[in-house]
Amino acid sequence: MHTWPTRVGTVLHLLDPATGPRLILDRLWHEVKNWGTIGGIWLNCRSGHLTPSGTFIVGEAPDSADEIAALATPHTAPIATDGLPVVARQLRDGNVPIATLLVSHRQSEDAAAFLVDSLSRYCMDRLRVQLEVSELAEENQVLRGALTVDVRQHDILTNSGVMQALIRNALRAAASTATVLIQGETGTGKELLAKLIHAHSHRAHKPLVSINAGALSPSLLESELFGHARGAFTGADHDRRGLFEVATGGTLFLDEVGEISQEAQVRLLRVLQERTITRVGDHHPIPVDVRIIAATHRDLSAEVKSGRFREDLFYRLNVVNLAVPALRERREDIPLLINHFLQKYNRANYKNVDEVPRDVLEMLIAYPWPGNIRELENCVQKAVVLAPGTVFIDDLVPPTVRSYAASHPLAERSTIQNPGVPPEDLLKTALERWAGAAGPDLGKLFPLAERILIAWCLNKEKGVKLRAARDLGINRVTLDRKLAEYAIHVKRGKGVVADPAEATSEDTEDEAA
């Protein structure tokens, strides 16, 4: 015969909070029905709290159980009924009712009260486990989105001098703790640049958490960024950490920061100033250690002038400004990107589209690509999927690209030849075209070619003369002499300029180059 301590130990061992109430009550009834004193157990779980919700009954349910449950208080207490005596309790999470327990008995109130107390503890433990699982699931979702292959410098494909200078600046900024603002058109790769900065920072071992601020309503954005306290709004049945807390120690990437509301701008400014956050519906400040990288396709300085963006927040974000050029401003990258996307989608679709005819390549290079790299990637993906063979035929080129090529003659386009063609062949083609238009006068050709190469190198190196001279294979003195000879004016940070007044005059400008 089971002693009372043995019964207590058995009951407590059965109440596993990871198991649902239906199975718990079935197991419990299998134990207590042999006591001969318990009539039945009635458990009602409110929807939105304990899962699953509903009413669960084992044994003999007391008559008018709903009416009896309405009399239950937050304390374990007997309730007089016409049938079996009942011990009842209402469970609350703060001021919110979450469940009601009824245990009927036959002249054994202590055993029924013990079961009510034990099941109450089980219900509260189960609620705690559910909240922990919910929080872990939310954090896991955020962290899974942040898990990316470590972005290295050579992962950003470019032949452009402008992009190479941008990457160098990004790597310098990565070593600091400064807030970074990345500006550029949609589809230029701003998020990839943010990942590069994070991967080369001292926070690389912590998460990079990203959020598209333009895709959320103002209230939802604040809840996502700062979290919310239980009861802050309808449906907020538990405390929730915001992305600032999740990203503590790491980096928070705010994409499309120019789209956030004035109210959210005020709260974001306070975070940048105080380095603390306050959850929605709460008043307790929470310290955070997060580096901010913001990105936008808008001209924030113009937004400030129009009053749509706070000036003080703009200056807080605009510590290190990185401007990503549009694809039409670095057309020399288009062949490289086409080849990369061909390989990527060939592998994904088990295809072997590896030949791009010259006329197709010229069309793709000449097109201005308003959607930038994202639009180019979609174009190549479509071509790989629909290609009948191994050739990127012109029928697979989007109609917008073909119509642009038809309305802009080849002579008006800036074309870049396939990098697979030997440089000698490129030069031969260019010289033959030039000779056909201007004649084969070597006296005119050499100065013109020299001037073009010097200007090209200066533009590529953003006006840094020492680097341009190294690329040209001459010394700085010779370069200065050539600049004077050809009346080329240079501005550091920009390149060749038409106005002599803009030209840099300091002789020591390249000391740090």
Per-residue confidence (pLDDT) for residue 6, from 0 to 100 = 67
DSSP string, 19-44: S-HHHHHHHHHHHHGGGS-EEEEEEE
User: Where are the chain's structural domains?
Assistant: 4-138, 148-325, 328-412, 431-502
Return the CATH number of the domain spanning residue range 431-502: 1.10.10.60
Task: Spell out, as residue ranges, where the chain has pLDDT lower than 70.
Answer: 1-7, 138, 141-155, 231-238, 409-422, 425-426, 437, 499, 501-513
Which residues neighbour 363 within 8 Å (Cβ) at sequence distance 6 or greater?
394, 397, 401, 402, 404, 405
Per-residue confidence (pLDDT) for residue 411, from 0 to 100 = 43
Return the CATH number of the domain spanning residue range 328-412: 1.10.8.60
The H helix count followed by the E strand count for the chain is: 19, 16
- CA torsion through residues 430, 431, 434, 435, sign: negative
Q: How far apart are CA 238 and CA 231, in angstroms?
A: 7
DSSP string, 452-500: HHHHHHHHHTTT-HHHHHHHHTS-HHHHHHHHHHHT-EEETTTEEES-G
Report residue 268: phi and psi, to 5°: -65, -40
- CA torsion through residues 445, 448, 454, 456, sign: negative
Per-residue confidence (pLDDT) for residue 313, from 0 to 100 = 93
Question: CA 311, 314, 318: angle at the middle one, nearest 5?
Answer: 145
Single-letter amino acid, residue 212: N
Cis before 218 (ω within 30) = no
What would the pLDDT profile of 379-433 be if each residue is shown by its tens digit?
999 999 999 988 898 889 999 998 888 887 654 544 444 444 567 766 777 777 7
* Torsion of the alpha carbons at 413, 419, 425 and 430, rounded to the nearest 10: 20
Cβ-contact 102, 42 below 8 angstroms: yes
What would the pLDDT profile of 15-67 be if each residue is shown by its tens digit?
888 888 888 888 888 888 888 888 889 899 888 778 888 889 898 877 788 88
The CATH homologous superfamily for domain 148-325 is: P-loop containing nucleotide triphosphate hydrolases (3.40.50.300)
Fold adopted by 4-138: Beta-Lactamase (3.30.450)
Q: How far apart are CA 192 and CA 201, in angstroms?
A: 14
Continuous segment of H or E residues that includes residue 251:
strand 251-255
Extract long-range pairs of 417-421: CB within 8 Å, 24+ residues apart.
Answer: 417/358, 418/335, 418/356, 418/358, 418/361, 419/159, 419/335, 419/336
